[in-house]
Amino acid sequence: MKSKLLAVAMCGVASSAAIAGPIEYSLNSSAAAVQQYAPLFQKELDRSRSFVDQMMEAGVVVPIPKDPGGGYTHEQHKQNFKIIYQGGQLYKLTGEQKYADYVRDILLAYADLYPTLGEHPARKNSQSSGRIFWQVLNDAMWMVDSIQGYEAIRDSLSEADRKNIDDNVFRKAAAFLSTGSAVTFNKIHNHATWATAGVGMTGYVLGDKELVDVALLGLDKSGKTGFLRQSELLFSPDGYYTEGPYYQRFALKPFIVFAGAIEKNDPSRKIFEHRNGILLKALRTTIQLTYDGYFFPFNDAIRDKSLKTDELYHGVAVAYSKTRDPGLLSIAQWQGRTVLTDDGMMVANDLAAGKASPFSFQSLLLSDGPEGKQGAVAIMRKGDGMTGQALVAKNSSQGMGHGHFDKLSWQYYDNGYEIVSDYGAARFLNIEAKQGGRYLPENESWAKQSIAHNSLVVDEKSHFNGDRRAADKLAPEQLYFTNEMGSQISTAKMTGAYPGVEFTRTLALLDVEGLGQPLVADIMRVDAEGDYAYDLPLHYNGHIMRVGFDVKSNVAGRPVLGESNGYQHIWVDGTGKPTSADNGFVTWIKDDRFYTARWVPQVGSETILAESGANDPDFNLRREQMLVQRVTSGKDIVFASILEAHGRYDGAAERTTASDSQVKTIQHVRHGGADLLLIETLAGAKSVLAISYDQDKNKKHTAAIDGQTISWTGFAAHLRLGGE
C-alpha cells in the first residue's frame, strides 16, 4: 500500500534564470536537478542538508541505550531521529540516493538493536521506562519523527530491508508503545498523545489498521481513551491546554503532526473539523498566548521559549495549509523558519509572494477545562502584539503537576517588556551545572509558591496549603469579561484556596481621558469568615524612581521576610505606611517609560519593598523586586490599586517628560454590593470603574461617589464623571 503520510513533498522545478518576478513552483515528483525554492524553504533545505551531510561523515551511530536525559546515548538517539526525519525529507525533495541509503542504514542498525532491548538502565520505574530512552515519552517522540523519515524512503528499499525494518523496528516499537506501555498509552495526557501519534502514524505507513484504531480510540477501541478523546479532554473548547502555554506549545506537535497524517490518509474523518475544529483552534490559541513572540511564562515555564520552536514551525505550516490565514505568514516571518514538507513549502511560497499580513493578536477569554468550566485565562490587549499592551488575568485551574499556586494572578506587558511579571520556573534547561538541567529545588520552594506571584496570600501560606492534588480539584470561576475598546474588564472569583476565604478580583485595562497610555485597575475583594493576615504582592520590572511615602530602610544586611512557603526567599529592603492613595505609590522606570503603581492603603496596613534571592546558596534564583501590600488583620478587605504608564525618558535627546505620575489620586467606595474605584488625574479628569457583580446584564445600578450619583447597567462599567 502506498502510504500517504503527513506530507507528500513537492519537488519543485524552477527556472534557473535570474529571478524577475514571483516564482511558480510546480508539482513534479521526480526531479534530480538543482532546485530553487522560496527563500524560507531554501534556507531550511540548506540547513538540513548541511546537518545531514555533516552527520553522514560521522556515519551510523546507534549506541546501546544507557544514559538518562542529557547523557551521551540519550543525546545520540535524539540526534538520530532528527537525522532520520530530515534525511527522509531531503530524499523526497532532492531524490539524492545518499540520503535514502543513510536513513536506511541507520534504521537497519535499529533493526538489529531494538529487539534486544528491555527496560532502560536509567529508568525511573518500569511503568515510565522507554526502550531507547530512559522514559517512554522520548521513545514516542523518536517514533513520530522516525516514521515520517522512514515513510519517505520505504518504497525505495529492497523487499528484505523493508520487511526487516517494518518488523524489527516499527512493529515492535508500536507494540511496545501501545500494549507494552498500556498505562501511558491509555492516559489522557501529553505523553499519551505522543504515544498514540507514533503508533497511529506507524499504522498508516505499514498499512496496519489495528494500530491506527488503537491509536485513535484507545487500546480497547472504545474511544474512552486514545487520540480523539485526548483532543476532547486536553483542550478547553477555546483550545487552551490546562498545563499552561509552555506545555501547550510542547503538547501541540503530536496533535498537529498526527492530525496531518490522518487528514492525508483518511480525509473522510475530517479530523480538522473534529470537536468544532479544536486542533486548529489550539494552534491559534498557542500563538495568542504570547507577547512579542514569547509565551506567557506562567506555571512551570522557561522564559526564553518563544514561537521560534520546532512545534510551532510545524503548527504554523499545517494550519496555514488548512486555513490560508495570511496572519500565519507573519508568524512564519518572525520565526524565520519552516518545515520541509509541502505545507512548509506553501508557507514559504506565499510569504515570498508578499501575501503576509499582521497576525491578529486579540483580547480573548480562553476558558479552561474540557468543558470550559474550570476558570479561564483573560487576555486584554491594546496596540500590537509586540509593543502594545497586554494585561493577562490568570484565572485558570491548577494545571496539574506543572501548575503553580497562583490563583487570580496577573501579568502586564507594555512597550515590548514584561512590566508586571510572572517568574516562570526555577530551571536552567539542559545546563549540566544546574542539576543536569532539571527543575531545581527552588522551583518548589519559590517559583510555585503563592507569594512568588501577583496573587493574594493569606496567613503566609500558599493556596491549598501547597497541595497540588487538592488544588487540582477546585478552579476559579470567571464571572465576567468584556473586550470593549477602552474598557476591557475581567472578573473572577476563587473559593476554596483557603478555608473560609473567598476572593474576587477585577482586572481592567482602561482608557482614561488625558492619559497617554491605558491604565490598569485592580480590585481584589476578599470575603472571609474570620480574621486573617493578607499579603498582596506586585512583582515588577524596573528601577525605582520615587516612593510616595517614608520608608524604614534595611540598608545593611536585609532581613528575610519569613521562614517558609517562599517567604524565606525574600529580602526586605524596607517598609512603610502610606496614609492615603495620594502618597500610596511607587514609581519606576523601564527603558524609556515610567510606571506608577498606586493603591488605597488599608487602615493599619503597611507596604513592603522587597527582592527575591534570599536563601539561595546555589544562585538558582534571579533577584527581582516586588512591593507587597500587607494587612496584618482583617476580615473583609478590598485592595484597590492601579498601574499607570506615563511619560518618556529620551536618553538620546536628553529630554524627559512626565516622569512623575499624572494621576492625582484614587478612591475606593463600597456601595451596597458594588465596588467603585474613582480615578482622578492631575488634569482634573475623573472616572469610575463600577462593579455591581450582578450577572443580569440589563439591570440598572446607581451609586453615589465623589458627591455625584452615577448609574450603569450590568456587571461592570467604566464611566466618566462630570468635571469639577
Footprint of a copy of itself on this chain (CB under 8 A)?
302, 304-306, 308-310, 428-434, 437, 543-547, 551, 553-560, 571, 573-574, 587, 589, 611, 614-617, 619, 622-623, 649, 651-656, 659-660
CB 175 to a copy of itself: min, Å: 29
How far is C-alpha 166 from the geometric centre of its chain's CA atoms? Answer: 37
Q: What is the number of residues in the chain?
A: 724
CB 560 to a copy of itself: min, Å: 5
Which one is catalytic: 37, 247, 320, 532? 247
Sheet with 501-510, strands from edge to edge, namely 477-482, 487-498, 501-510, 519-528, 637-646, 593-599, 585-590, 543-547
Which one is catalytic: 77, 120, 314, 402? 402
H/E stretch holding 108:
helix 97-113
Are 357 and 329 a contacting pair, CB within 8 Å?
yes
The packing angle between helices 97-113 and 136-154, to 10°, is: 140
Closest CA to 421 of 413, 429, 431, 430: 413
Question: Residue 56 or 544: which CB sits closer to a copy of itself?
Answer: 544
CB 558 to a copy of itself: min, Å: 6
Can 247 be counted among the known catalytic residues? yes
Question: Residue 269 or 546: which CB sits closer to a copy of itself?
Answer: 546
Angle subtended at Cα 631 by Cα 629 and Cα 633, rounded to the nearest 5 degrees: 170
CB 310 to a copy of itself: min, Å: 7
Question: Residue 655 or 697: which CB sits closer to a copy of itself?
Answer: 655
Question: Residue 306 or 323: which CB sits closer to a copy of itself?
Answer: 306
Can 534 be counted among the known catalytic residues? no
Question: Residue 104 or 569: which CB sits closer to a copy of itself?
Answer: 569
Question: Residue 107 or 572: which CB sits closer to a copy of itself?
Answer: 572
Closest CA to 620 of 446, 497, 381: 446
Torsion, Cα 679 506 522 581, to 10 degrees, reads 50
- Grid coordinates 532491548 are at which residue? 117
CB 544 to a copy of itself: min, Å: 4
Q: Which long-range contacts (CB under 8 A, 24 or more apart) does 677-684 make?
A: 677/521, 677/523, 677/640, 677/642, 678/705, 678/706, 678/721, 679/510, 679/512, 679/519, 679/521, 679/642, 681/512, 681/513, 681/514, 681/515, 683/514, 684/723, 684/724
b (16+ CB within 10 A) / e for 589-625: bbeebbbbbbbbbbeebbbbbbebbbebeeebbeeeb
Torsion, Cα 275 276 280 284, to 10 degrees, reads -120
CB 717 to a copy of itself: min, Å: 35
Question: Residue 611 or 694: which CB sits closer to a copy of itself?
Answer: 611
H/E stretch holding 54:
helix 39-58
CB 73 to a copy of itself: min, Å: 16
b (16+ CB within 10 A) / e for 323-352: eebbbbbbbbebbebbbbbbbbbbbbbbbb
User: What is the C-alpha to C-alpha distance for residues 476 and 474, in angstroms, rounded to an integer?
Assistant: 7
Question: Residue 33 or 58: which CB sits closer to a copy of itself?
Answer: 58
Question: Residue 161 or 624: which CB sits closer to a copy of itself?
Answer: 624
CB 710 to a copy of itself: min, Å: 34
Question: Residue 556 or 603: which CB sits closer to a copy of itself?
Answer: 556
DSSP secondary structure string for all residues of 623-638 = --EEEEEEEEEESSEE
- Grid coordinates 512551570 are at which residue? 300
Q: What is the CA radius of gyration of the chain?
A: 28
CB 339 to a copy of itself: min, Å: 14
- Grid coordinates 517522540 are at which residue? 141
Reading the block at residue 104, the C-alpha cell is 536506511
Reading the block at residue 91, the C-alpha cell is 530524499
Query: Active-site positions?
Result: 247, 402
